[in-house]
Amino acid sequence: MRLEGRIAVVTGAGLGIGKATALRFAEEGARLVLAERDDGRLTEVTELVRDLGAEALAVPCDVTDEASVTHLAQEAAKLGPVSILVNNVGGGRSGRITNLSVADWDHTMALSLRSMFLCTRAFVPAMQAQGYGRIVCLSSGARNGTVWNAFHTGASGYSTAKAGVTGFIRALAIELADDGITVNAVAPGPIDTELAGPYLRKMHEDGLEYSPIRMTPLHRLGTPREVADAVLFLASDEASYITGTTLDVTGGR
Ligand SMILES: NC(=O)c1ccc[n+]([C@@H]2O[C@H](COP(=O)([O-])OP(=O)(O)OC[C@H]3O[C@@H](n4cnc5c(N)ncnc54)[C@H](O)[C@@H]3O)[C@@H](O)[C@H]2O)c1
């Protein structure tokens, strides 16, 4: 029970890595605030968390929207002081540079970076008041360029956004150190989530030059739970002397 009694917010908790993180945290005794845009997914993950015997507060929320995040923080405060924030929502639109619209670019930055800024700004005051906090942000191997995405589809927007996560956590780790708040990132490689998994496997099946399964030394996709385990570590007391770090969960790539 590594998170016993701690109140943890997980954004985008309805699917994939966010869902796996919420369930992993529930197993470790956390009390969960589940922030999710999709009502159906939110209902499902809330029930699964409660089935594990954990407390769950479901908050429908768009984490790219300032008013929605303010509402999320107000709702979460009803449960008690939040001490763990997982900024999981991220992603964006891929495309080669000459085909990327301004709207595509702005969407990627908002989904991956504005969401992270708004949620962190909303929950840091509660952590400062406790003199304790754990912030874990989802980065990606794409922060250095992911060869299969970059080569086959174009991914400059997404890679830019995930490189931005590095600057965000590095600067905030220093800014918030005296408040007892650690700020770290987990950078997944190709993960077998409900949405990304079939697309990543198809690249392999189609025999593409750079397929994630061929390019990754462990020669398989990672599971959402394997990523959640890394998030759990950084959110736990075991990671007390780790801040400003990005932990790669990429199968060795
Ligand atoms: N899946 C991968 O292979 C992979 C690899 C590297 C990094 N990542 C990163 O990990 C994180 C999670 O990825 P995933 O593949 O599990 O995501 P996903 O797209 O499968 O799920 C994201 C969840 O967030 C919700 N969501 C989306 N926008 C939202 C918003 N504005 N407000 C609230 N909820 C919203 C969705 O409804 C969905 O339930 C992302 O930051 C992603 O960039 C994923």
Domains and CATH numbers, the chain: 7-191+224-244 (3.40.50.720)
Nearest residue to 63 (alpha-carbon basis) of 39, 45, 81, 90: 90
How far is it, in rounded angstroms, from Cα 137 to Cα 148?
23
- What the block records as the tokens of 231 is 């998030």
Q: Please name every residue paired with 82 in a beta bridge, in sequence order, or none if there are none.
A: 7
Q: How far is the CA of 112 from the centre of ligand 1 (A)?
A: 9
Q: Which residues of 124-155 are buried (b: 16+ CB within 10 A; e: fewer)?
A: bebbeeeebbbbbbbbbbbbeebbbbbebebb
The pLDDT mean for the chain works out to 98
Q: How far is the CA of 18 from the centre of ligand 1 (A)?
A: 7
Atom of ligand 1 nearest to the CA of 14: 39
Q: In whole angstroms, give the CA distance from residue 151 to residue 96.
A: 9
Mean pLDDT over 78-87 rounds to 98
Query: Active-site residue 199, yes or no?
Result: no
Share of the chain above pLDDT 90, in %: 100
**Tell me: the pLDDT tens digits for 165-206?**
999 999 999 999 999 999 999 999 999 999 999 999 999 999
Q: Residue 92 has which token pair?
A: 């964006």
Pocket test for ligand 1, best of 138, 165, 231 (most atoms within 8 A of CB): 138
Q: What pLDDT does residue 253 have?
A: 87
Q: Is 95 helix (H, G, I), strand (E, B) or coil?
A: strand
Residue 233 sits at φ, ψ, to 5 deg, of -55, -50
Percentage above 70 pLDDT, the chain = 100
pLDDT tier at 211, thresholds 50, 70, 90: very high
What residue owns the CA closest to ligand 1's atom 17?
16
User: Closest ligand 1 atom to the C-alpha of 62?
Assistant: 32
Ligand 1: nearest atom to the Cα of 68: 32
**Ligand 1 centroid vs 178 CA: distance in angstroms?**
31
Q: Specify whether the CB–CB gap between 113 and 161 falls below 8 A.
A: yes
Pocket test for ligand 1, best of 193, 220, 223, 253 (most atoms within 8 A of CB): 193
Alpha helix stretches (DSSP H) within 82-236: 102-109, 115-130, 147-152, 156-175, 196-205, 212-215, 224-235
pLDDT digits (tens, 9 = 90+) for 19-37: 999 999 999 999 999 999 9
Q: In the structure encoding, which two tokens stand for residue 66, read together?
A: 């300032």
Cα-to-centroid distance, 89 and ligand 1 (Å): 5
Average pLDDT over residues 109-113: 98
Cα(158) to ligand 1 centroid in Å equals: 12
User: In the structure, which protein residues have their CB atom closer than 6 angstroms to any atom of ligand 1?
Assistant: 11-12, 14-18, 35-38, 41, 61-64, 88-91, 115, 138, 140, 188, 190-191, 193, 195-196
Which residue out of 158, 199, 210, 241 is catalytically annotated?
158
